[in-house]
Chain A
Amino acid sequence: MNTYDLIFYLFAAVTILSALMVVTHKNIVHSAFYLLFTFFGVAGLYVLLAADFIAIVQLIVYVGGILILLLFGVMLTNKITNVEIRTGTINLVPAVIGVGLFAGALLASVVNSPWKIKNPEHTVPTTKLLGTLLLQEYLLIFELLGIVLLIALIGAASIARK
Chain B
Amino acid sequence: MTVGLTHFLIVSTLLFSMGLYAIITRKNAIMVLMGIELILNSANINFVAFSRFGNFGYSGQLVALFVIVLAAAEAAIALAIVLNIYKNLSTVNVDEIDNLRD
Contacts and interface: CB of A to CB of B under 8 A. Distances in A.
Contacts of B19: 19, 23
B34 A49 contact: no
A117 interface: yes
Contacts of B81: 159
Nearest to B46: A110
A5 B61 contact: no
B7 A8 contact: yes
Nearest to B13: A106
Nearest to A146: B69
Interface in A1-38: 2, 4-5, 8-9, 12, 15-16, 19-20, 22-23, 28, 31-32, 35, 38
B80 A118 contact: no
A22 B34 contact: yes
Q: How many interface residues does chain A have, given as a range?
A: 35 or more
Nearest to A132: B58
A20 B18 contact: yes
Contacts of B82: 73, 77
Contacts of B16: 103, 106
Contact of A38 (B31, B38, B68, B79): B38
Interface in B37-64: 37-38, 41, 44-45, 48-49, 51-55, 57-59, 61-62, 64
A15 B46 CA distance: 15
Given A149-B73, A155-B77, A23 B59 contact: no
A96 B14 CA distance: 13
Given A45-B48, A66-B71, A103-B17, 10 more contacts: A28-B31, A46-B45, A51-B51, A54-B64, A102-B17, A117-B4, A118-B53, A149-B72, A155-B77, A159-B81
8 contacts: A42-B44, A45-B8, A50-B52, A69-B76, A73-B33, A87-B31, A133-B57, A152-B76
Interface of A: 2, 4-5, 8-9, 12, 15-16, 19-20, 22-23, 28, 31-32, 35, 38-39, 42, 45-46, 49-51, 53-54, 57-58, 61-62, 65-66, 69-70, 72-74, 76-78, 87-92, 94-96, 98-100, 102-103, 106-107, 110-111, 115-118, 120, 126, 129-130, 133-134, 138, 141, 145, 148-149, 152-153, 155-157, 159-160, 162
